[in-house]
Structure 1
Amino acid sequence: MAMSREVRNPAFRQLRGQRSPGEFAAAIRRAAREIGEQVACDARYIGRVEAGEIRCPNYAYERVFLHMFPGSTLKDLGFSDRGAVRGRGMCPGAEPPGQSESRPQPHTSQNNEESDVLRRAFMAGGSAALAAVSLGFGPAPVPSRRRVGEAEVNAVEAAVRQIRLLDDRHGAAGLYRRAAQPLEAAYALLDAGTARRSAADRLHAGAGELAISVGWLAHDSGRFDDARSHYAEALATARVSGDPALEAHAFCNTAFLARDAGRPREAVRAAQAGERAAKQLSSPRLLSLLTLREAGGWAGLGDRTACSETLVRAKSLFGQGTSDADPEWMSFFVEAELEMLEAQCWSALSDWPRAAQHAERAAELQDPHFARNLALYRAQLADDLVRAGAPDRAAAAGHQVLDLLDQVQSSRIQAMLAGTARRLLPERRAAGVPAFLERHASTPRLV
């Protein structure tokens, strides 16, 4: 039998009281849900805290602990002040800032856990070095002792834009693993500290936006657990920095993921939380998108009335036009995307003809330079058409998607098209269907 660990955090052990580590972990998870956080706390985590291996929790856990024990500080809970461990990449037991415990972690040895800390703790020596890491070139540089300045913040923001541009053009599958490197660099920069408050605010926002971008790449690649973890990381960063725009974005993507993962009620709640955050801003378009995410949740729940009412509200907000307060990341949210999101709502409600009508409109409106979205809209159209009883038109739309797959790498789009192909199998006699099925079968799949 393994020996119990020495208690090096008696304050935290006292808070546990008579509860077992597993029972205390369950209480922490319940408290996290109360405030909209997502942590995968287990008995092992409790043991690591009590043994002093975790000197300071990440931001998500900090919020949960302070919610559970109002009026307490991290010091009262037996942790070191975050500033005491900040910037010390060699310090074992310091939780990487913003890292969500819902992300699977290796359980083989303490060396593995320390390696993860060290991997995140490097700081790029300048914007050129960070840009190289951001694009996936070469290893991380040796940590620098100087504080982070404008050059590093600019590099993080540039990495966000580059990832979004490449995703818009080509899809997520080829980008996800490379994009993890700039994300690690951004949080290491955040942990290193900045000379000025304005730079710190920008770096928090940039790191959070980068977490969302990497989360989206995971989402679009079908890695839902990874996506959920990255979105939670962004949400924790937003709350620590008091950034309602970043919080609204994180909730927007969380709602989208929840819908795709078959958790429609969570999608509704996350979208509504995003709407509350967005009301602090002056962007009707942002509120419109969040309202559409809510509509998608209602559709998933089969509530046609709530979905219809929410769609009306979303279109009214969209009709108010753009504003200077619209976030940069919302450049994709044009009329074509509005039509696509409405199509998905009607599809979820099994109103296939109406869904096909809006999907076709989305494809007609979409800028052809953005191949990924055009392929997505046509894949949605193909699936709605076959369900609506128009297999010939579905096959034609499917061919248009296949025409784009040499430019687009998206597991999500390929999965949608595969579903359409399965539904077309009984319709082999319809015009164009055999040719589409043969071509689809010969198309290489992403791995």
Structure 2
Amino acid sequence: METDRNVLLEAWMREHGHSSNTMAEAVNRAVERLTGRPGGCDGSSVRAWKSGRIQWPKALTRRALEDVTGVPITALGFAPRGRAQPVPAVPEQEDPDLKRRTLVSGGIAAAAAAAAPGSAPRRIGMADVDRLQHRFTEIIASDHRHGGQIDIERRAASLADEALNLQNSGNASQRVRANLYAAAAAFRSSAMWAAIDGRRYDEAKAHMREAQALAEMSGDQAIKFRIWSHAGTMYRHMGRTADALAANDVARNLHVTRRDPMFASLGLARQAAILGVAQDRTGTRRAFDQAGDAMDRADPAAHRPTWLVAFYDPAELNSLALSAYLALGDYPAAELHAHRCLSTLRPHMARSRAITTTRLAHAQLAQGDTDAATKAAMTVPTAAATQHARVSRMLGEFGAALRAKAPRSPFVDTWTEHTAAWRITA
């Protein structure tokens, strides 16, 4: 006997970008969350649901489907034999201008509408997640241009709250909700990084705690890696090397580092930077060698998160090596890595260029080359020198070291005049 296709399930899968195989995987994960053991669905199971050959799955499968989709099982076109499936309502003709205005209104207006008394719950989909991802890309770009600014921290925190508000503004599938939690965690981790970069460590720790909770709810390994790796960097800047290594080890032990050597490389490079502060010369060199090997093994065509693609490359690997060898007092090696970093640094990495140039000046001054050191330090843009907390501190330390090393040198006067001009133009 011919059966009717389950058009409602097919429509839901199309809307949320699921194939039969990915839908089966999502259901199996939901079964594992419910029972502790993965489910046994595969692509053929889902095709049987779509064709109508299976009209009423087993109770556990029905519950898992509701968990994945966020809607009742009957709204997905399933019904016991002999009971009619719900017929999708025919939508009224919609005014194109009205539709455009509705879409432009964004997530906050939608959340407010959903909260209004008597209104029907809004359906939250991947389009909402994509809109948040676009805003995340803007935050990443601002960080690489300016870094450490309070307004970046506040914008990122506000967008994290917007992602969470969207969770409560309507119905969503389990997949969409996981992506919203991941987006909120990503924004909160950017707020954390901006606070670290601006040396506002109490604020950074508060963002870290919230980001970690959100990442756990999302189940996103990549964002968990970012948060714990940031934590390691934060503790390194604070001089708490034991805590830094412990936090970085959490990141390095996530299975995403075994799946993608680029994550493994970043974890090893940051471990090497921490070991430099800890004065472990052998460990530092070994970790950097391993980080380079892992980067060479990584597939350049692999899909990776925006935040990783935007900054981690050979230039950043050399930047971390520069930091480590400066901490170890190996100034020739530090200078070598500084030049390597600057020669390959991408144009949009303005914040990184300012930090690397300042560290180069320190490495040159420590070797007695006051002329080259002063000239390098003077190329740091005024905006970075006066508005970026880390750069400002390092340049202040450079001036103090220059005066101590060559108190009667004309370079001291040159540097003093240069920094006086900052106060006028800043």
Interval of TM-score (by shorter of Structure 1 and Structure 2) = 0.5 to 0.7
Tell me which residue corresponds to 1:73: none
Give CA-to-partner distance per residue, 1:155-185, whole Å, 9 cap, x none: 3212211111111122232423333322221
Q: Distance in 2 between matches of 1:305 and 1:229?
A: 34
Q: Distance in 1 between matches of 2:243 and 2:105?
A: 40
Q: Percent identity?
A: 28
Q: 1:392 aligns with which of 368, 371, 392?
A: 371
Give CA-to-partner distance per residue, 1:351-392, whole Å, 9 cap, x none: 122112211221222123322221111011112222232222
Q: Distance in 2 between matches of 1:312 and 1:446?
A: 43
Q: Distance in 2 between matches of 1:445 and 1:414?
A: 16
Alignment of 1:362-441 (within 5 A): 362-402=341-381, 405=384, 409-426=387-404, 427-430=406-409, 432-441=411-420
Q: CA deviation at 1:446?
A: 12
Alignment of 1:152-301 (within 5 A): 152-173=128-149, 174-192=151-169, 194-279=171-256, 282-301=259-278
Alignment of 1:306-345 (within 5 A): 306-321=283-298, 322-331=300-309, 332-345=311-324
The letter for the 2-side match of 1:412 is R
Q: CA deviation at 1:284?
A: 1.0
Whether the aligned pair in 2 keeps the contact of 1:288 and 1:314 (CA below 8 Å) is: yes
Q: CA deviation at 1:400?
A: 0.9
Q: Distance in 1 between matches of 2:156 and 2:218?
A: 23
Compared with structure 1, are the counterparts of its residues 194 and 302 closer, same or farther at alpha carbon in structure 2 (3 Å cutoff)?
A: farther
Give CA-to-partner distance per residue, 1:226-248, whole Å, 9 cap, x none: 11221222222222232211111
Tell me which residue corresponds to 1:354: 333
SS in 2 for 1:277: coil
Q: Distance in 1 between matches of 2:344 and 2:402?
A: 26
The letter for the 1-side match of 2:349 is F
TM-score by length of 1: 0.65
Whether the aligned pair in 2 keeps the contact of 1:343 and 1:358 (CA below 8 Å) is: yes
Whether the aligned pair in 2 keeps the contact of 1:169 and 1:372 (CA below 8 Å) is: yes
TM-score by length of 2: 0.68
Q: CA deviation at 1:143?
A: 6.3
Q: Distance in 1 between matches of 2:257 and 2:291?
A: 17
Q: CA deviation at 1:399?
A: 0.8
SS in 2 for 1:302: coil
Q: CA deviation at 1:437?
A: 2.6
SS in 1 for 2:379: helix
Whether the aligned pair in 2 keeps the contact of 1:411 and 1:446 (CA below 8 Å) is: no
Whether the aligned pair in 2 keeps the contact of 1:248 and 1:278 (CA below 8 Å) is: no
Whether the aligned pair in 1 keeps the contact of 2:354 and 2:380 (CA below 8 Å) is: yes
Tell me which residue corresponds to 1:25: none
The letter for the 1-side match of 2:159 is P
Whether the aligned pair in 1 keeps the contact of 2:178 and 2:217 (CA below 8 Å) is: no
SS in 2 for 1:319: helix
Q: Distance in 2 between matches of 1:251 and 1:176?
A: 18
SS in 2 for 1:405: helix
Whether the aligned pair in 1 keeps the contact of 2:272 and 2:287 (CA below 8 Å) is: yes
The letter for the 2-side match of 1:211 is R
SS in 1 for 2:211: helix
Q: Distance in 1 between matches of 2:424 and 2:396?
A: 10
Q: Distance in 2 between matches of 1:446 and 1:282?
A: 49
C-alpha RMSD over aligned residues: 2.9
Q: Distance in 2 between matches of 1:434 and 1:247?
A: 48
Q: Distance in 1 between matches of 2:275 and 2:146?
A: 31
Q: Distance in 2 between matches of 1:227 and 1:351?
A: 30
Whether the aligned pair in 2 keeps the contact of 1:281 and 1:325 (CA below 8 Å) is: no
Q: Number of residues paired by the alignment? A: 317
The letter for the 2-side match of 1:386 is L
Whether the aligned pair in 1 keeps the contact of 2:265 and 2:294 (CA below 8 Å) is: yes
The letter for the 2-side match of 1:223 is R
Q: CA deviation at 1:213?
A: 0.9
Whether the aligned pair in 1 keeps the contact of 2:222 and 2:256 (CA below 8 Å) is: no
Q: Distance in 1 between matches of 2:172 and 2:378?
A: 55
Q: Distance in 1 between matches of 2:105 and 2:239?
A: 41
Compared with structure 1, are the counterparts of its residues 384 and 182 closer, same or farther at alpha carbon in structure 2 (3 Å cutoff)?
A: same
Give CA-to-partner distance per residue, 1:60-90, whole Å, 9 cap, x none: xxxxxxxxxxxxxxxxxxxxxxxxxxxxxxx
Q: Structure 1 or 2: larger helix share?
A: 2
Gaps of 5+ in 2: 1-100, 116-120
Does 1:149 find its partner at 2:125?
A: yes
Q: Distance in 2 between matches of 1:405 and 1:353?
A: 25
SS in 2 for 1:401: coil
Compared with structure 1, are the counterparts of its residues 436 and 323 closer, same or farther at alpha carbon in structure 2 (3 Å cutoff)?
A: same
Give CA-to-partner distance per residue, 1:332-369, whole Å, 9 cap, x none: 11111111100111111121221122112212221233
Whether the aligned pair in 2 keeps the contact of 1:382 and 1:397 (CA below 8 Å) is: yes
Whether the aligned pair in 2 keeps the contact of 1:396 and 1:432 (CA below 8 Å) is: no
The letter for the 2-side match of 1:161 is T
The letter for the 2-side match of 1:328 is T
Quick check: which has more Rg, 1 or 2?
2
